[in-house]
Amino acid sequence: MTKLRTLTASLLISTCLTAGAVAQESSPLEAEIVAIDSQIAEVDATIARYDAGLIRMLAESRREALLLLRTVVEARQAAEAAGAMIEITVPAVEPDPERAEQLLGEMAAQQQRVEAAEREAASAGGLIQAVALSRVETEKLTLAQLQMAYLQARYGIAFPVTPTMMNSAPPISDPTSPAAMTQGEEVTETALPWADPDHPDIDYSLAPFEQAHNAGDQISGWWVINEERAAIDDSPSVVAINYSAYDARSFGGLTALLAQCREGDTSVVFVQDDFLISAMRRDSFDINYRIDSNPAQSTRWNELTNNKGAGLFGSASEGFLRGLYDAESFFIRLTDGNGRRYDAEFDLAGIQEAIEAVAGACGWSTLDLSPDDYRAIQTLLNAGGFDAGTPDGVWGNGSRNAMRAFQEQSGLPITGAADRTTLEALGVQVGE
C-alpha cells in the first residue's frame, strides 16, 4: 500500500509558482489568485480559437496545470478565512534538493524557449505561423510541467489530482443498470463509434481515442494515426502514437511511443512523464529495449529538446520499425544523466497499420528487401511498361517514379516504395 503523507495547506501554498517564481508566504493570496486567473484567461482565449487539433489539446493540458495551482492557493485562502487548518493528503515523494537545483536551471532555459517561440510566431504568417503557434503551446506546457517537477523535487510532495485531470471521455453507462434495459431485452454493450472492432479488448473510453476520433484521425489497436501535409513543402506527414501506457492520473505528461514521418524523415520517439537530466557533454541517453521475448538490446537514442524523452532518427529508425512490424510487445528503459531509470512497456496491437502509414509517407518498404529483391522488382516494372531503368538493385529516383506510375494506374496509394500491397499487385508473393 502506498505510504501517504499529510500536508497542510500552508505547506502546499508555500510551494506554488506564480509568474515564474516560488510564491512567498507574505504575498496576498487574492493577488496570487488574480495572477493565476489571468493566465487561465489567456489559455481559455487560445482554446476558444480552435475547435480541435494539436494547439487546442496542448492548451487544454496547460489549463489543467494552472487550475491545479489555483486549487492549492484557494485551499490556503479558505484555511485563513475559516481560521482552521485544511489538510490535503497526497502520495509521498522523497525530496531531492540536487535535482531541484538542476530543474531550476532547466526552468530558466525553458522560459527562454517560450520567449523565442513567441517571437517566431509573431513574425510568421500563414501555415508557418500555425506551426509556430503549436510550438508556443508546447513550450508553455513544458514550462508548466517543469514547474510541477521542481515542486516535487524541492519539497517532496505530489500534487492532488483534480477532476479536470481525469479522463475526459464521457462515462459509459452500466449496461446491467435499469436505465440501460427495458423489460425482456438482453443486456448488450454499446460499442464506442471510434473503437477498432479488430481489438475488442482495448479500453477505447480513454480520452486520447475520443480526441483522435473528433480530429478525424485513424485508430488502429492501441495506435492513433494522424495524417497531414507538411506546412513547409506539402509532403505527407504521419504521426502514429501508441497509447497503451496512457495514464489519465499522470499529471507530469504523456508516456507514449511514436512512429512518425515528417518532411521525408522517419523517426521513432519514446516520451515519458518526467523531466530528464542530460548527461554532461552528451546529447543522447542510454536505451535498453526488448521486443517480445527476444534478448534485450542496448543502444543510445538522441535526447529530445523538451527533456521528456529520446528518439531514433533516419535510416536507423526505418530498420527499427521493420523489426517491430510483427511484434506484440515492446519494453524500453531510458537512463538519464543522473542514472535515473524510466521504464515503459507497450502493447503493440495495431502496429502494422501504423508502420505502413509512416513508411508510405516517407517512401520506404516495411519489408527487408535485398539488392536482388529490388533488381527483380525493377525487372517486373520494366516488363509492365514502367521504365525503372537498368535493373541494378538500387532503388533510386527512376525506380521510385516507375513505381509511382504503376501505383497510380493500379489505384494504389502513391508512395514510390515497394510496399506489401504494391508488390502483391505486381504478382509478388509477400511472406507473412
Quick check: helix, strand or coil at residue 359? helix
pLDDT at 416: 87
As a whole number, mean pLDDT of residues 7-12 equals 31
% residues pLDDT > 90 (the chain): 28
Q: What is the pLDDT of residues 166-189, one digit of tens each?
A: 333 333 333 333 333 334 444 345
Most confident residue range from 84-88, 345-349, 402-406:
345-349
What does 330-345 look like in DSSP terms, one character per residue?
A: EEEEEE-TT--EEEEE
pLDDT at 279: 72
As a whole number, mean pLDDT of residues 370-377 equals 87
pLDDT for residue 294 is more than 90: yes
Most confident residue range from 124-133, 243-252, 279-288:
279-288
Residue 62's H or E segment, with its range, is helix 54-82
pLDDT at 159: 53
pLDDT at 301: 95
Compute CA distances 40 → 60, 66, 69, 140, 158, whole Å: 10, 6, 11, 12, 22
As a whole number, mean pLDDT of residues 246-268 equals 86
pLDDT at 177: 36
Q: Which residues make Cβ contacts (< 8 Å) with residue 240, sequence separation at least 6?
A: 223, 224, 225, 226, 258, 259, 260, 354, 355, 357, 358
Q: What is the pLDDT of residues 33-72, one digit of tens each?
A: 887 888 889 889 888 887 766 677 777 877 887 787 677 6
For the ranges 294-303, 311-320, 383-392, the lowest mean pLDDT is seen at: 383-392
Domain ranges of the chain: 28-80+95-155, 207-361, 366-426
Instruction: At 294, give phi and psi (nearest 5°).
Output: -70, 160
As a whole number, mean pLDDT of residues 131-146 equals 75
> What gap in Å lies between CA 256 and CA 357, rounded to an integer?
18
Q: What is the pLDDT of residues 408-418, one digit of tens each?
A: 998 988 888 88
Q: What angle do CA 345, 351, 354 make, to 5 degrees?
A: 125
As a whole number, mean pLDDT of residues 94-121 equals 81
Most confident residue range from 20-34, 80-94, 116-130:
116-130
User: Please, are residues 169 and 337 in contact by the beta-carbon 8 Å criterion?
Assistant: no
Quick check: helix, strand or coil at residue 403? helix
- Mean predicted lDDT score pLDDT of the chain: 77
- Confidence band of 2 (pLDDT split at 50, 70, 90): very low
Helices (H), 302-426: 315-324, 351-362, 371-383, 397-410, 420-425
User: Please, are residues 226 and 245 in contact by the beta-carbon 8 Å criterion?
Assistant: no
pLDDT at 252: 63
Question: Which residue from 365, 345, 347 is spatially nearest to 355, judged by alpha carbons?
Answer: 365
pLDDT at 330: 97
Enumerate the β-bridge partners of residue 299.
287
As a whole number, mean pLDDT of residues 289-294 equals 96
Torsion angle of C-alpha atoms 70, 71, 72, 74, degrees rounded to 10: 80
Q: Is pLDDT larger for residue 429 or for residue 196?
A: 196
As a whole number, mean pLDDT of residues 60-86 equals 70
Q: What is the pLDDT of residues 212-232, one digit of tens each?
A: 999 899 999 999 999 988 887
pLDDT for residue 5 is more than 90: no
Pick the CATH number of 207-361 from 2.30.30.90, 2.102.10.10, 3.40.50.620, 2.60.40.1880: 2.60.40.1880
Please give the radius of gyration of the chain, using alpha carbons only, rounded to the nearest integer: 25
Q: Which residues make Cβ contacts (< 8 Å) with residue 272, sequence separation at least 6?
A: 253, 255, 308, 309, 334, 342, 344
Q: Is pLDDT larger for residue 429 or for residue 427?
A: 427
For the ranges 93-97, 98-102, 347-351, the lowest mean pLDDT is seen at: 93-97
pLDDT for residue 265 is more than 50: yes
> What number of CA atoms fall less than 13 Å from residue 255's CA on the CB side?
22
- Confidence band of 158 (pLDDT split at 50, 70, 90): low
pLDDT for residue 331 is more than 70: yes
What is the CATH number assigned to the segment(s) 366-426? Answer: 1.10.101
- Confidence band of 271 (pLDDT split at 50, 70, 90): very high
